[in-house]
Structures are given as structure tokens and as C-alpha cells.
Chain A
Amino acid sequence: MGRYVARRLLQAVPLLFIISVILFVLMQSIGDPLATMSGRRPTRSADRERLKRQLGLDQPVLMQYVYWLVGNDWTSIDLDGDGVRETRGERKGVLRGDLGRSLKKRQPVLDLIGERLPNTLLLMGTYEMVVLVGAVALGIYSAVRQYSIFDHAVTGVSFVLYSMPIFFIALLSMYLLAVKPKQWGLPYFPTVGMFEPEAGKTVPQVIWHMVLPVLSLSLISLAGYSRYMRSSMLEVLSQDYIRTAKSKGLERRYVLFAHALKNASLPIVTLIGLDLPTLLGGAIVTERIFGWPGMGRLFFDSVSDADTPVVMAILMMVSVAVVVFQILTDVIYAWLDPRIRYE
């Protein structure tokens, strides 16, 4: 297993290099980072010329990529536009842990990500837990009570929720559980943000403000996950070994959770393995609507501003996470299903 993991990690290096080249080239077409630097007006021509030079955007794409990858502290750059490269570069490059500086915010990208990642992990981690627990519970119950009223109800609601766009559910929940109850004088949830300014950023405040975003995210995913769980469980419950376990007189709950659930959870593990890396990227729509300061918003804003260093950093972070989580998924597979062996 150790050799398998090491081999997969080594294979990931050229893969990530190719991904980075493709992404960097694609970045050149996401827009002009200088377009909005003058506020609400197009940037003044003299400033555009100067900023291109100072930010290194006047360099050929290949050279910009090299600077992004290995830095520019080995060469000199022309800051004042006199044609003489008089100033030593300061960037160290991604390979040495320098993700660059945001073109828009002028802060190190690492700092920006460091500020947003915990918020995203809090939101998305909670959401994933709610979905996982809810989907497993609903899926098992639906499978065990197949064709019952409960099963039909869960199936119907699942299809309705699964077909709804997230922005609709988010705005609907905001109006139904925040705006309208307040107007009617009823208890209500907060609309946006992580806390009320008068109360301060306390744990109860953050939990309270997380209810609507988590609810919106969960409703859609819960529908899909629970369907997977139900069908997987139904398939497993009809297997011979389950019949054998039952005929041995084992307790029903033991058969369900010790024998059936372990095998039925394989598809869910695959789904989670695919989902977890993307959680790092945040929930773009949900974070925007509820004003949650996470990675999704950082990514969206950075794409809008054509802020290449930030977009590249987030995409590469997600790429690395996909590779790592895929390896982890394979390892968990082997643990769940003894028939699987990696040589």
C-alpha cells in the first residue's frame, strides 16, 4: 500500500505541472486586471502603462509563468520605465511557497487564503456533516421501509429539492425564514453575515448565522446523497450474505449496521472523495448570497477582477486536494472492501 501511495504521489507531480501550465495560459483570457483599477472609469492610459510594467504584466506569458513558478529574485526588473532593469525582483515563486500578491488587494495571496479558508471549512464542514448524517439516516430508513408513505415522501421531496437551483433555495429561505418573519413580528433568522455587530463574533452568533446557509446547501445535497444511499442499501439488503446473517438469527440492527451499511457506503465514499476537495473552494453562490466570507467569494471576486495570482492559487490548491483525496479514497476503499488490493 505504501508503495502504491508513493507511486501515485510521484505521478501527481507532472500532472500538477501540466495543470498549472494549462490554467496559467487560460488565465490570460479571463480579462484585464487593469480594467477596473481606476474605480468606475477605465484606467488612465499613463497609469495603465506604468502598472503593467510594475506588476510584471508587460512580460510575455511564458516569462510571467516562470516568475509565478520560480520567482524573479534571480533577475532585475524595470520599475521606472526608463528601459533599464535596475531593481532586483522580490518574488520567490510557488515552488518556494510564495503564491504571489493579489493584483487587486496588494496583499500576499497566502494571507488572503488564510483569512478565508477557516470560514469555508467551518461552513462546508458543517454542511458535509449534516448531509452525511442526514443522507445515511434517510437512505437507510427509506430502504428498510421501501414503498412506505415515508419512502414515497422522501423520494418526492428529494426530486423536488434536487431539481432546484441553489440561489433559489437560498433566497427563498432568506425571505421565508428571515425577512417575512421579522415583518410579521415572529422569531427570525439573520439574513447575512457571520454575526450582529452589537453582539460581537461569538460562537452562538456564528452558529445562528450559519443556519440558513447550511440549510440551503444541505437541502439540495441531502436529496441526492439520500437517493444514492437508499439504492445502494436496497441492493446490499438483497444479497445472499445478508440473508445468511439474518438466518443465523443475528439482531436486525446488527445486520443493518455491521453487515449492510459497510458495503452500502462504498458509493457514498466515492461521492465524498470527489466532494471533499471541492469543499475547499467554497460554495460560490451560497457564500455570495449570505455574505459568508469564504473561499467561494474570494474565487468569484478574483475571477471578476482577473486577479490571476489569487485565481491560480485557489485552482492549484483544489487540484492538489483532488489528487490527495483520490488517493485517500482508494485507501479507504481497500479498508472497506477487503477484496480490493493495490499492488
Chain B
Amino acid sequence: MKSKWHFVLWTVFLVAGLLVAACQPTPTVAPPTPTQAAVQPTQPPPQPTQPPPEPTQPPPQPTQPPARKVATFIWTQEFDTLSPLYTNMWFSTTTFELWQCAAWLFDDQNNPFPSLVTELPSVENGMISPDGKVITLKLRDDAVWSDGEPLTSEDFAFTYEMYVNPANTVASTYPYDQLEKLETPDPQTVVMTFKEPFAPWMIMWRGILPAHVLRPVFEAEGSLNEADWNKNPTVGCGPYVFAEWESGSFARFVANEKYWLGKPKIDEIFFRFVPDDASQIAALQAGDGDLGTFIAWSDIPTLEKAGVEVVPAFSMYNEGIYFYMHPEKGHPALQDLRVRKAIALATDRFSLCTDLLLGGTVPAATDWDQTPWNDPSLQPWPYDPDQAKALLDEAGWVDSNGDGVRDKDGVELVLDYGTTTREIRKDTQAVLQQQLAAVGIKVNLLNAEADLFFSGYGEGGPAARGEYDLFEYSTSPSQPPDPDTADWLCSEIPSDEYPDGSNWQANCDEELDALFAKQRTQVDLEQRMATFHQITKHIFENVYWLGLWQDPDTWAVGKRLKNVKISGATPLYSIMEWELVE
């Protein structure tokens, strides 16, 4: 009886093993796609009714169609929507360089170059009016949508109308709400008239809506909120065309046969949504992905060992600490420049970059680091704890009660330091806590999940409500690569009356306010740059923000991908040139 049971058990295991083995992937031909139609065998297969070949002729060789080149990109977050109207999500907008088109793109140095326009507008070429209010765009005449319809100024006008129409719940009306009017005197000309001179105009027109597809939808439904195109944009204008998107699983983009600059070298881009960072690394190691994003510094050695290259792309993000400086609610010590400077000098950000970030980056001096907008003379604050102690003494913050923490007028120098729950930030907090304790500053560490941390004042966001004296995150200008931001304006300090304000550090500096207002109207590049050098110097010297490290986007490029160049502003700008080799 016992041996019978063993026999049954082993039989079950054997059959199960065979079944599993039978399910192993075998080389299969990819399902036909529209782009495959052009790829045919050079000879038809021999027909049974055909006479046998002449003895003198070589036997017919079955010609295999060339294998489709499919690159797999691993995206740790799924797109929310693909419509430019409804998304600001990085993982969605980054696909735009595949299937959408833009008036201009930015290269791997974040320099702009024309794409849909024939040349970049400037005061010199007369396309920007002397008062900076009118900007004219001249469009290429060979640009077409993937269905063959010409792409004209009508599409630009329609895009503008949709952004500012209140029936559409768009992600942001900015910067299109800065326009007074938009005119289209002919199919290749777009004339934009702004209410005020508008220097950040280059953040516009990354993603155009096909008027011939969407206008009928808008007219029928009264808005584009529920347009099928938002999820299935089967008509696009980039080197690839949207093919398929299965929620939570994958999305496919196939080469656009009608792209006016030719056909890309890779046949298909396959996005696989893998939300777990460790799984992304495993997939890249195993070769199940050709491109990965936002690689943690600690994972770089593992990937490099597996032959995966890590490419940084500077997207104008810098990790840093804001000081909460509300005159009434803020900690009194932080009102004093000497204390802020002491905090900067007491923190060893250089070792932080070497040890925690494995030397992958360097400290940032200002929030505009690595851009021409930063005053080139500025260097990160040095690590000098002795000078920090001297400055604190000079400011009157001394340890009068012998508890190891400095105090003044009965107030202890104890600061609440908040950030998100990201591991690298928590590690940074621990290191800085130790370094600040060494100069007599006690720091309480606080953490909140990202969605709570970034919540606004009205929604109880702890940073926005001033619950932290110091708060850390990676920040950038409003719309990189443009340097403008509203985060330093006095009018943006959040309050019960104005809960949506974005100046969470509650720092009102009228000089800075005036400089920001000035740069926003300077359409002359050199003048604006000079103003920004003043801005960055002012913020740096007053230690309104303490840079921890430059925070480029880290991309993992698998062994099969070649010719990869990535921009910080429009990452996949050179996708046409990318190649896939086995």
C-alpha cells in the first residue's frame, strides 16, 4: 500500500514537472502589427503544386523576415493618462517624445532645438516683438499626423482652446492662461499675444492635440474629459504610434510609417509597468528590461556588475533643505542669518555624497545648480563645524543650562526636521542629526508619506502648514528647463485665507520678490540670466535654502541599447537614433 502511494505521488510530481516544462517559452513570431505589413519574406514559400526545381538551381531557401526589434522600457509607475491636457505626471509626459510632437525639444545638455517650428523665435530674428508680448511661430510644412492629415496651426489653436476651456478638467492651465490671444493667419503660422511679456514661453507646446480628431468629440460631448483618445491616442505625430495599453500591465508603441523624419531604428517600444524598485533591478539584471528609471544610488554597482550602464540626466532637480521662516510661527533662531549659516557649515554634505550616495553626485550650491541660470561663482558651503560653533556663539545661542543643547532667552535650539519616508532621506536625516548635535543643535526627525508630505496647507500638509522648522525634498523650477518658480513669492505664503500658496517656507523677502517679477518679463536671454544670477546669489548668501546634492534622474541602459542620449527636459528626444543590438 505504501509503495502504491509513493508511486502515485511521484507520478503526480512527474506529470506536473512535464506540464511546467511544456509551458516554457518557445521562439514565436510576434503578432502582426500594422508596421509589419511592410516586412515580407523576399521569396514566397514553395508551393506544393509547383514543379520541382531544376537540378541546376540551388534549392529555394526559406527567407525568414528580420526579427522585430522590440525594446522593453521598465516604468515603475503607470501612466495616469496620455493626453497632454490631463497629465503632468513624469511617466506620462516622458512618452510624448515617442508618439507626440513638440514645437521644440531639448538635447542632453538641455539646449533647445527646433522640432515642429522651422526656427526658434528670438528678438534678433524678429519672431519675438521688441516689447516681448508677441511671439510668432513658423511651422514646418511637411509635418503630418500618423493618419496622414497635415499638422497645422489649427492644431495649435485647438490645443490652446482646450487648455483654457473650463469644461475641461485639465491638470494645469499654465502657461496657456498667460496668453491674451492666439491667432493663425495661415496654416504654418501661429501668433501668440501675451498679457504681459512672458519669458518662460519655451515651456509651451510639448504635446499638440489633433484638432481633426478631437474637435468633433468636444463639440459632441462638451468636454474632452471622457474622450477615448486620452487613453487610446491612436493618432499621434511622433516617431512612434500608440498601439495598445493594458491597464497595470504594459503599453506598446510601434514605429510611425508616416513620420516626416523617417522611420526609427527600433520597431517597437514596449513599456512594462513594474512598481517595485527591487523587481525593476532584478528585471534589468536578468535582461527582461532594456531601460529603467530612477535607479537608487545604492543599486548602481549591482547593475554595473551586470553590464547595465547608468546614465544621469540633469532635470534641474536638487535635493535640499528649506528653512521655515514665518516671522511669528517659525523658530526664532532661524530668523537669524548666522544660525542658518551655522547649520550649513555644520553639515558635511560632501561626505554625504561620497558615503550615502556612493560618489554618484555632488553637493548643490543653489536650486539652479548645473544650469546657466546659476551664478557660476557660487560654491557649496564648506564643512566647518568650528566656524559654525563660533557663529552660534556670536548669535547668542549658547548652552547656558548644560544640557548639551544651545539656548537663548529661555528658548532651546531644538528644530523639527521633516521629510518623506524615502530611505535615502531618512538616512540623510540621521547623519545630519548627528552632525548638528555636535555643534549643539538638537534635531527631531519627522517623516510623512509623500502624498501627505506634499499636501497643501488646506489639506493639512505638514510642510505647507509650517509643522517643520527644516524640511527636505528634491525640488526644481516650476517647469524645467525654464528657471521660473513661484515658490519664493510673498504672495504665495499659505494661510487660512489663501490655503493654496506654494511658498511653504513662509519666507517673504521683498528684494527677492522684485527680482522674480523682473525675470518673468525679460524675454532677452542675457538680461534674464543676469537677473537670475542675482537671485541665486541672494538665496545662497542668505542661506534661504541649503543644497544637499544635485539630483539628476538616473537611467539604467541595458546592454542591447546603443546610441542612447537622454535629456533632462525632454528625456527621449533622440529616440529615433537609438539602436537595439543582440
Contacts and interface: CB of A to CB of B under 8 A. Distances in A.
A and B interact: yes
Interface of A: 30-32, 34-51, 54-55, 79-81, 87, 104-107, 112, 115-116, 119, 141, 171, 174-175, 178-179, 182-183, 187-188, 190-194, 196-200, 202, 204-205, 207-208, 211, 252, 288-291, 293-294, 297-298, 300-301, 304-306
Interface in B355-400: none
Given A47-B172, A197-B270, A104 B80 contact: yes
B257 interface: no
Contact of A106 (B22, B80, B270, B474): B80
Contacts of A105: 80-81
Interface stretch (B49-57, B409-417, B447-455, B525-533): B447-455
A291 B275 contact: yes
* Most chain B beta-carbon neighbours within 10 Å: one of A30, A42, A199: A42
A41 B476 contact: yes
Contacts of A252: 1
A204 to B, nearest CB: 5
B230 A106 contact: yes
A37 B88 contact: yes
Interface string B270-286: 10111110110011011
Interface of B is mostly: loop
A149 to B, nearest CB: 13
A40 B248 contact: no
Interface in B144-191: 166-167, 169, 171-174, 177
B12 to A, nearest CB: 9
A50 B173 contact: yes
17 contacts: A31-B455, A32-B455, A35-B454, A35-B456, A37-B88, A42-B502, A45-B492, A54-B169, A104-B80, A187-B24, A192-B283, A193-B288, A198-B67, A199-B30, A205-B25, A288-B279, A293-B248
B475 interface: yes
A187 B17 CA distance: 14
Contact of B173 (A40, A42, A47, A207): A47
B273 A293 contact: yes
Contact of B247 (A112, A288, A291): A112
A171 B278 contact: yes
A301 B456 contact: no
Nearest to B166: A80
A35 B500 contact: no
Given A35-B454, A41-B475, 20 more contacts: A32-B451, A35-B461, A36-B89, A42-B454, A46-B174, A79-B166, A119-B249, A178-B282, A183-B285, A191-B286, A192-B279, A192-B283, A193-B272, A196-B25, A198-B70, A211-B23, A289-B278, A291-B274, A304-B449, A306-B451
Interface in B256-279: 268, 270, 272-276, 278-279
Interface residues of B, number: 84
Among all A-B residue pairs, the 3 with the closest Cβ atoms: A293-B248, A32-B455, A45-B500
Nearest to A200: B31
B219 interface: no
A115 B78 CA distance: 14
Contacts of B502: 42, 44-45
Nearest to B85: A106
Contacts of A116: 247-248
B127 to A, nearest CB: 28
Contact of B459 (A34, A107, A198, A200): A34
A264 B169 CA distance: 58
Nearest to A196: B25
B287 interface: yes
A197 B282 contact: no
B570 interface: no
B225 interface: yes
B172 A119 contact: no
Contacts of A191: 279, 282-283, 286, 288
A331 B279 CA distance: 42
B444 interface: no
Contacts of A288: 275-276, 279
A199 B250 CA distance: 14
A39 B81 contact: no
Contacts of A179: 282, 285-286
Contacts of B31: 200
Contacts of A81: 166
A50 B268 CA distance: 38
A199 to B, nearest CB: 5
B560 interface: no
A41 B171 contact: no
A175 B282 CA distance: 7
A180 to B, nearest CB: 9
Given A171-B282, A193-B272, A289-B278, A36 B173 contact: no
B72 interface: yes
Contacts of B248: 115-116, 119, 293-294, 297-298
A304 B453 CA distance: 12
Interface of B: 1, 5, 20, 22-26, 28, 30-31, 67-68, 70, 72, 74, 77-78, 80-81, 86-90, 93, 166-167, 169, 171-174, 177, 225-226, 230-231, 246-250, 252, 268, 270, 272-276, 278-279, 282-283, 285-289, 306, 317, 449-452, 454-456, 459-461, 464, 474-476, 478, 486, 492, 498, 500-502, 504
Nearest to B249: A293
A251 to B, nearest CB: 11
B307 to A, nearest CB: 10
Contacts of B275: 288, 291, 297, 300-301
Given A32-B461, A41-B475, A174 B25 contact: no
Contacts of B5: 141
A268 B46 CA distance: 61
A38 B485 CA distance: 14
A105 B86 CA distance: 9
* Most chain A beta-carbon neighbours within 10 Å: one of B22, B68, B167, B276: B276
Nearest to B285: A179
Given A45-B492, A45-B501, A290 B279 contact: yes
Contact of B500 (A37, A49, A193, A198): A49
B273 A197 contact: no
Nearest to A113: B247
A190 B288 contact: yes
Contacts of A42: 454, 456, 464, 502, 504
A35 B286 CA distance: 35
A340 B268 CA distance: 61
Contact of B28 (A40, A43, A199, A297): A199
Nearest to A305: B451
Contacts of A200: 28, 30-31
Contacts of B167: 79, 87
Contact of B86 (A106, A192, A300): A106
B68 A32 contact: no
Given A36-B451, A193-B250, A44 B478 contact: yes
A293 B90 CA distance: 20
A193 B274 contact: yes
* Most chain B beta-carbon neighbours within 10 Å: one of A35, A174, A179, A291: A291
A44 B286 contact: no
A290 B280 CA distance: 9
A317 B23 CA distance: 34
Contact of B169 (A39, A48, A106, A293): A106
Contacts of A107: 81, 231
A293 B174 CA distance: 34
Contacts of A301: 77-78, 275
Nearest to A193: B272
A38 B88 contact: yes
